[in-house]
Chains A and B, each alone.
Chain A
C-alpha cells in the first residue's frame, strides 16, 4: 500500500501554527520529527534546545512545507526552517540558537 501524504489545507496549517506558538512555552518548527530530523539545521536546533528543556514541542512542517513557510512568515518575518518560539516570541533559527549558546545566553532564553 502506497503511503499517501495527508491533505492539509492552508487554513488548518495557519491554525496549527497559531495554536502551537500560543499553547507551548518552547516550540520548534522543523523538518522531520524529534526521532528523525530530516535536515541538519533542524537536527542542530533540536539538539541545542533539548540541552536545556525536555518539553520542547516540535512541529513537522514537511506535510505542507509551503503553507507552513507562509504561516510562519506572518509570525517571524521569515520563511526559513527551523524556527523557534519561546513564550510566543520568535528567537531564531539554528544559527541564532548556536550563537546564543556560544555567548551563554541560550539557557536563560529558553527558560522563559
Chain B
C-alpha cells in the first residue's frame, strides 16, 4: 500500500478532508506512515473520536498492510 492509496482511502470516507501522507522513517518504507488529516468533521469531537474516524476509513488495512500510522487530526481552524 503506497502513500497515495492511504490518502485516497481517507479522502473517500470523510467529508471535505485533506489527507497528507508522508513516510517519516525512509522514503521506501511502506509500513509506517505519518498522516495529517484536516476536516470539518472533527469539530466538536474528542481526539479519540477524531482518530476513530480515520481508523474506520482505513479499516482492515491498518494492522494488516500498514504497521502503524502517526496520526494528527486537525479541524480547519486548528490547521490555519
Instruction: Write the residues of chain A forming the contact surface with B, with a CB cutoff of 8 angstroms.
Output: 39, 41, 69, 77-80, 90-96, 99-100
Contacts and interface: CB of A to CB of B under 8 A. Distances in A.
20 contacts: A41-B70, A77-B52, A77-B55, A78-B52, A79-B63, A80-B62, A80-B63, A80-B68, A92-B47, A92-B48, A92-B51, A95-B51, A95-B69, A95-B70, A95-B71, A95-B72, A96-B47, A99-B47, A99-B73, A100-B47
Contacts of B70: 41, 94-95
A99 B42 CA distance: 15
B54 to A, nearest CB: 10
Given A78-B55, A96-B47, A100-B47, 18 more contacts: A41-B68, A69-B63, A77-B52, A77-B55, A78-B52, A79-B62, A79-B63, A80-B55, A90-B48, A91-B48, A92-B47, A93-B51, A95-B51, A95-B71, A96-B48, A96-B51, A99-B47, A99-B72
Contacts, number: 33
Contacts of A79: 62-63
B57 to A, nearest CB: 12
